[in-house]
Each structure stands twice: as structure tokens, then as C-alpha cells.
Amino acid sequence: MRVLQTADRIAAQLAFLIETDKLKSIIRANVLADGSRFENTAEHSWHVCLWALVFADQSNGANIARVIQMLLLHDIMEIDAGDHPVHLPHDHDDITAKEAAAAMRIFGLLPADQNIAYRQLWEEFETGKTTDARYAKMIDKAVPMFLELSNPVQTQNEHDILRGILETGRFADLHDDWPELYQHASNLLNKRRLAPMEPTASRLRFVMEADQLKSVLRGTTLCDGSRRENSGEHSWHIMLWAMTLVEHAAVPARLDSVLLMLLLHDIVEIDAGDNPIHGDFDVTVVEAQEQAAATRLFGMLPDFQETEFRAIWQTFEAAATPDAIFAKAVDRAQPLICNLQSGGGSWRDYKVTRTQIDTRVGVKVKRGAPALWAALAPQIDAWFGANT
């Protein structure tokens, strides 16, 4: 009976995680920092988590671990309700009703206890009354503003919209809540060459540089096969995977630690690129490239954060602790679902064999989350049985 209960629970959790893949196709009104395209809501959700960690000393005592979990969930309702640009008029009651219905449907895919827990966390964010929720909302207001201020091809109309958001819109709240950041946004908008004081300046350089992770393409496609996944949205999704599946870790894992590893684990791909596990590459060369990337990227931060963040990344890479072993398992498992859902995806592209799945992926998933592997293996067997 226990095995059946576990299998049913994982099936419900995977149904939720597959559904949330759709957040990668919800397009927002703001662009990436380089102006190359509009941002999607999944990669936005990853970026606000990063900002929340980097600027934790601005949180007024918020629990950063809870804030990150809140931000992982905060925009999932957009799968059904869509994004609503702040500079356009909206029917607030209609949006509220649509989001409540979306929460009921999407969180309702989960086992009952997680449905309740996730919905409560989302509602706390929406209400915005707790210290954690206020900090999460502060970050959620700041990030799109700075992406738009960095846009090198900004039009006059976009500039005017930003001015309205800054002076009287949702960003105006930061005048009192985060005055240093508000003043820097005003300086950028008005083309005043005044940099913020340290450590804010270094932190801003890092989080804005990190925006490039949204343009690093992976070998894996989205679940619907419509395009290749990028490393920013992938990082958000596997954080959500870890949060949802942590109870299945082979050895009890600390979720707070796991989420920080997954938040930072692919940052080095900004310089080193993605190297698909089924691709052809020199491991020694890649490791050297990633170490150099870690030195440059984490080196943008104040010294104490550089040391802390690099240690988190290295712990993930070493995969020697229970937390890192589970994090690695999740990182290997998520692409399996993408490939199963998309009709083979990168397995077809790289001519992957069932044996390679076991040796390159299965070993690590089984080591960190054996019950998850037990749930996925029959589906993998069925696909290879039908397609080879």
C-alpha cells in the first residue's frame, strides 16, 4: 500500500510540474536587458529569486528561504490568467477571479497537502501583508524596471511609460521602501551619470549580468516541443521540481540549501555555454571554462557574497552532500520529462540509447531520488520500446 501511495503521489506531483512548463510560454510586457526579445514569466520567476538572494540585507528581516519559495509560485496563475502589464487598464475584480480559478485548477493537480501549502503561500504573496510578502513584492517591482532601463533600443513611448511607472505607478512605492534603488532608477531614467554606492553597485552589476542566462539555449526542448529551453527558465523549473519532490530524496535533504544550489548552478553557462549531457565535449575543457566563468561572474559581487555563492556552486558541482546529490538528481530528471512529453526531443537529436539513459542520467537520479526514478523508468522504457 505504501508503494502505491508513493507512486500516486509522484504521479500527481509530476502532473503539476508538467503543467507548469507552460509558464515558459507566457510572454511579459518587459524585454530582456539587451532588448533582444520580451521576457517570459518562468525566466522572470528565476530572476526575481536571484535578486531576492543578492539583496537579502534589504529585506527588513524577511525569511529569504520562504521568499524564494513564494517567488517560485507567485506567477504560476498566469498560465490561465495571462500577464497584465501594469501600464494598461485592467478590471481588477476580473483578474482576481481568473487567478483564483487558476490557483484552484493548477495547485489542485498536487496532492492535497501541497495544494493547500502552495495556495497559502501564493495568497500570502498576493495579500502582501507579511514581512516575507512585502520583500517579495518589492523585488517583483524592481526587476522589470531595471530590465527596461537597460534596454538599448528603448523608444520614446517606452521611456514615457517607465517615467509614469517610476513616478506614480507600482515602482513609486520603492521611493520609501528602497530609496537607494529608487534614486538609481531615477538617475538612469533621466540619464544622470551617478552610480549607486557599494555594495549596491556591485550587486546590480551581477544581477543584470545574470540576465544573460535567459539567452543560453539548452539541448532540451519545452514539453510541447515548440522551442529549446533556456537556462534561466530551466533553473526556475528545477527549483520548483525540488520544492515539490524533496520528500522523495534518498537521504533527507534541506530544501533551503537545495534551492540555493539550483538557483546558482547554471550561472556559469553565461560564459561557458550549455553542454548537453548527450553531446560530444571534453569534460576537462568544460570544467576549466566553468571555473573561469565562476571567477568572473561571482567576482562581480562583494567579497563575502562572492565567497558564499561560489561555495554553493562548488558544493553542487561536487555532488558529495545529501543536498547536492538530490539537487543533481532533480537536474537530471527534469529533461527526461521534457523529452517524454515532446515525443523524444533531444533523445532523437542526439540518437540516445536506453543504455545511455541509465549510465548518464539514471545513475544520478536513482542515487538522489530512487522513488522518482522508479516512477519515470517505465515511461522511458515504453518510449524506447516504441521508438527503437
pLDDT at 1 (0 to 100): 33
265 in the same domain as 150 = no
SS3 category, 285: helix
Confidence of residue 102 (pLDDT cuts 50, 70, 90): very high
* 2 pLDDT higher than 60: no
pLDDT digits (tens, 9 = 90+) for 214-269: 999 999 999 999 999 999 999 999 999 999 999 999 999 999 999 999 999 999 99
Same domain, residue pair 106 and 239: no
- This prediction has a pTM of 0.96
Question: Looking at the structure, do residues 116 and 247 belong to the same domain, yes or no?
Answer: no
Domain of 160? 30-211
276 in the same domain as 378: yes
Indicate the length of the chain as a whole number: 388
Please check whether residues 177 and 103 belong to one and the same domain.
Answer: yes
The answer for residues whose C-beta is within 8 angstroms of residue 374's C-beta and 6 or more apart is: 7
Residue 12 lies in a domain: no
Domain boundary among 211, 235, 263: 211
Mean pLDDT of 70-82: 97
Structural domain includes residue 377: yes
pLDDT band at 195 (very low <50, low <70, confident <90, very high): confident
Strands (E), the chain: 27-31, 38-40, 217-221, 228-230
Kindly state whether residue 114 falls inside one of the protein's structural domains: yes
Q: What are the angstrom distances between the C-alpha of 377 and each of 36, 176, 309?
A: 39, 53, 34
Q: Is residue 373 part of a domain?
A: yes
Strand 228-230 versus strand 217-221 pairing type: antiparallel
Residue 337: name the closest of 222, 217, 219, 214 by CA.
222
pLDDT at residue 353 greater than cutoff 70 = yes
Q: Is the dihedral of CA 205, 324, 242, 273 positive or negative?
A: positive
CATH of the domain at 150: 1.10.3210.10
Q: Given phi > 0 = left and psi -120 to 50 = alpha, else beta, which region is 214?
A: alpha
Over residues 274-331, the pLDDT tens digits come to 887 766 677 899 999 999 999 999 999 999 999 999 999 999 999 999 999 999 999 9
In tens, the pLDDT along 331-343 reads 999 999 999 999 9
Q: What is the dihedral of CA 162, 165, 170, 171, to 10 degrees?
A: 60
- How far is the C-alpha of 82 from the C-alpha of 62, rounded, in Å? 29
286: left (phi over 0), alpha (psi -120 to 50) or beta: alpha
* End residue of a domain, out of 178, 211, 244: 211
| pLDDT band per the 50, 70, 90 thresholds, residue 348 | very high
Residue 4 confidence (pLDDT): 45
The CA-atom distances, in angstroms, between 283 and each of 18, 75, 288, 290, 364 are 31, 37, 9, 10, 17
Domain final residue pick, 182, 211, 240 = 211
Residues 6+ apart with CB under 8 A from 198: 302
How high is the pLDDT of residue 282?
Answer: 79
Q: Is the pLDDT of residue 124 over 80?
A: yes
In a domain, 23, yes or no: no
The Cα–Cα gap between 357 and 275 comes to 16
Q: Which run of H or E residues covers position 79? A: helix 78-81
Distance from C-alpha of 260 to C-alpha of 255, rounded to nearest angstrom: 9
Q: Any residues with CB less than 8 A from the CB of 184 and at least 6 apart, and which?
A: 194, 195, 196, 200, 204
User: Coil, helix or strand for 27?
Assistant: strand
Dihedral over Cα of 280, 284, 286, 287: its sign: positive
Q: What is the mean pLDDT of the chain?
A: 94
The answer to the question of residue 374 being in a domain is yes
- Give CA–CA dist 38/169, Å, rounded: 21
Which of 344, 330, 222, 351 has its CA nearest to residue 278?
Answer: 351
Domain count along the chain: 2
User: pLDDT-derived band of residue 42, with 50, 70 and 90 as boundaries?
Assistant: very high
Mean pLDDT over residues 46-61, rounded? 98
Please determine, for residue 3, whether its predicted confidence score (pLDDT) is greater than 50.
no
Are residues 228 and 199 both part of a single domain? no
State the pLDDT at residue 279: 64
Q: Is 157's pLDDT higher than 70?
A: yes
